[in-house]
Chain A
Amino acid sequence: MLDPILGGLLLYLALMVGVGLYTSRYMRSLDDFVLGGRRLGPWVSALSERASGESAWFLLGLPGAAYGVGFVEFWSVIGIACGILFSWTFIAVPLRRESARLGALTLPDYFDLRFGGRSRSLRLFAMVAILVFYVAYVAAQLSGAGKILNATFGLDLHTGIWVGAAVVVFYTLMGGFLAVAWTDVVQGLLMTLVAVALPVLGVLHLGGPGELWARVAAHDPGLLHMHAGKTGAAFLFGVAFAGLSWGFGYLGQPHLLARYMAIRATRELPKGQLIAMGWVLLSYWGAPMIGLVGLAILGPNLADPEQVMPLLAKQLLPGWLAGLMIAGAVAAMMSTADSQLLVAASTVVEDAYVRLLGRRSTPARLVLLSRVITFAIAGVALGLALTQSGSSGIINSTVAYAWTGLGASFGPPLVLALWWRGTTRQGALAGMLGGISATIVWKQVPALGQILDLKAAPVLISAALVLVVSALGPGARRSPAG
Chain B
Amino acid sequence: MPVATLVIVCGSWIALALLAVLAYRFNARQNHD
Contacts and interface: CB of A to CB of B under 8 A. Distances in A.
B1 A273 contact: no
B27 A92 contact: yes
20 contacts: A71-B9, A74-B5, A74-B9, A78-B16, A85-B20, A209-B1, A224-B1, A224-B2, A224-B5, A225-B2, A225-B4, A266-B31, A269-B31, A270-B28, A270-B31, A273-B24, A277-B20, A278-B20, A281-B17, A285-B13
Interface residues of A, number: 27
A352 interface: no
Contacts of B27: 88-89, 92-93, 269-270, 273
Interface in A285-305: 285
A280 interface: yes
Contact of B30 (A82, A94, A281): A94
A277 B16 CA distance: 8
A205 interface: no
A200 interface: no
Given A78-B9, A209-B1, 10 more contacts: A88-B23, A224-B2, A224-B5, A226-B4, A226-B5, A267-B31, A270-B28, A274-B20, A278-B20, A281-B17
A464 interface: no
A93 B29 CA distance: 11
Contacts of B31: 93, 266-267, 269-270
Contacts of A273: 20, 23-24, 27
A266 B31 CA distance: 7
Most A-side CB within 10 Å, residue of B17, B20, B30, B31: B20
A241 interface: no
Contacts of B9: 71, 74, 78, 285
Interface of B: 1-2, 4-5, 8-9, 12-13, 16-17, 19-20, 23-24, 26-28, 30-31
Nearest to B16: A81
A88 B31 CA distance: 13
A281 B13 contact: yes
Contacts of B5: 71, 74, 224-226
A74 B20 contact: no
Interface in A60-116: 71, 74, 78, 81-82, 85, 88-89, 92-94
A399 B26 CA distance: 32
Nearest to A240: B8
A213 interface: yes
Contacts, number: 63
A398 B30 CA distance: 37
B33 to A, nearest CB: 9
A85 B20 CA distance: 7
Which 9 residue pairs across A and B have the least CB separation, nearest first?
A: A277-B20, A270-B27, A89-B23, A270-B28, A93-B30, A78-B12, A213-B1, A267-B31, A71-B5
Nearest to B8: A226
Contacts of A225: 2, 4-5
Contacts of A74: 5, 8-9
Contacts of A267: 31
A42 to B, nearest CB: 11
A418 to B, nearest CB: 11
B13 A85 contact: no
A19 B29 CA distance: 36
Interface in A360-398: none
A217 to B, nearest CB: 9
A280 B4 CA distance: 22
Nearest to B11: A78
A89 B26 contact: yes
B13 to A, nearest CB: 6
B1 to A, nearest CB: 5
Nearest to A224: B2
A137 B14 CA distance: 32
Given A225-B5, A226-B8, A274 B24 contact: yes
A81 B1 CA distance: 23
Nearest to A269: B27
Contacts of B20: 85, 273-274, 277-278, 281
